[in-house]
Structure 1
């Protein structure tokens, strides 16, 4: 039996392929000494005994709802040292109506701007824009992003509301455009960490689908982030 325990919680909107994306990381976690448990509902968070023995929670639940007891259980677990980690809408577009959850995560997806009107075709790629994930000065020295250069992606570019408790390791900038209502470039965090009590939170906004998560740099950032967030991490 492995010495550490990871809990994957997945579900919500199927467009983010929560099963396929989380399955990408199960072998990695097992190879790094975790017993992996998978749950299809966030209500596991209300089980205090299960939370007490969990070192890392990996969540991929876009939108959906959560009970007050489950949010309290999640917050209590992170406060006590359980790591909480995820990517894209599975962590920053979860449980939109719950302010206690949003405070824990430190960011909320609000938009992924679409292509210019003349490029819209009415399919899922309308919001796939070429953009850059820019590593910050803090990120260049952080265990999660050290040695990774700015990376170019063509996928959804998240506009995120956030607060200054986050340690931002990478950003992305939405340019001012004549077809959009904002009047100057807007920079959003793209990768961040957050300390919460004895626990750690890790968020990466890239990760719309398995193809994005298979990008070598994105995958490295996520894998390092999972280990960094876990209880007992030496990083």
Structure 2
């Protein structure tokens, strides 16, 4: 995405956040219902870094102005040392992280895990910025609920299917198409799956027919966790449904300290 188109995207994203201006008609009613779940008064830590191919710095221009337009107080950091600041971490309602293929120290990881597990801080993110962040840290992966392992065919055309039409994050949305990386992941069977994708392109024949989660939510201790595998680059969020799901997931995770736990654990294997 060049600087001009990204600037236009930022402007329209803020507008959509204020009133769903750019959403298709079939999404307007669902988006209107979401306005009561704004980020007003929420304290957010937005951490970016790692591999630049996932456009972590550019993502700041897309999501931070929108969050601030909804009334959030957002601190932006490009250092994992933010997780060492206990006063900062204790004060946050939500952490947004987009850090791909990086390394985290034991102390940094402990600060992040404690904020979510013990303090009930929500965490949300997308693509490799959240589920391919720290490949050597299994407790972090336990928290997030998945780990990227492949994207057969690299950037391809594929369909995202909404499978939970009752959850507020996906209510009122239709299936949609993406031209992006179709993530094959190792996934926690206790996550609440909201959307899926089916591998049918033939790039990895042994995986053809496999149905894989795209967006899901879960808990880690007291904290809410939201993840979507959409978002290889910021252009993915020019697809209205992909952007709307991400925005709703962020709002949901931000309520972690204020709303009771939802009871929907449904193991895949039983």
Say if 2:58 is the partner of 1:20.
Answer: yes
Which residue number corresponds to residue 119 of structure 1?
none
Equivalences for residues 1-235 of structure 1 within 5 A: 3-79=41-117, 80-114=119-153, 127-136=154-163, 139-175=164-200, 177=202, 180-182=204-206, 184-230=208-254, 231-232=256-257
Q: Distance in 2 between matches of 1:144 and 1:87?
A: 15
**Which consecutive segments of 4 or more residues in structure 1 shift more than 3 A?**
231-235
Distance 1:86 1:75 in 2: 15
CA pair 156-184 structure 1, distance change in 2 beyond 3 A: closer
> Which segments of 5 or more consecutive residues in structure 2 lack a partner in the other structure?
1-39, 261-270
**1:4, distance to aligned residue in structure 2 (A):** 2.1
Contact 2:223 2:257 in 1 (8 A): no
Secondary structure class of the residue paired with 2:152: coil
When normalised by structure 2's length, the TM-score is 0.77
**What's 2:12 paired with?**
none
User: Could you give the per-residue CA deviations for residues 193-229 of structure 1, whole angstroms, max 9, x where no partner exists?
Assistant: 0112221000000101111012111110111110100
Show the counterpart of 2:21. Answer: none
Q: TM-score, normalised by structure 1?
A: 0.88
Question: Whose helix proportion is higher, 1 or 2?
Answer: 2
* Aligned-pair CA distance for 1:3: 2.7
Which secondary structure does the structure 2 equivalent of 1:104 belong to? helix
**Over aligned residues, Cα RMSD in angstroms?**
1.6
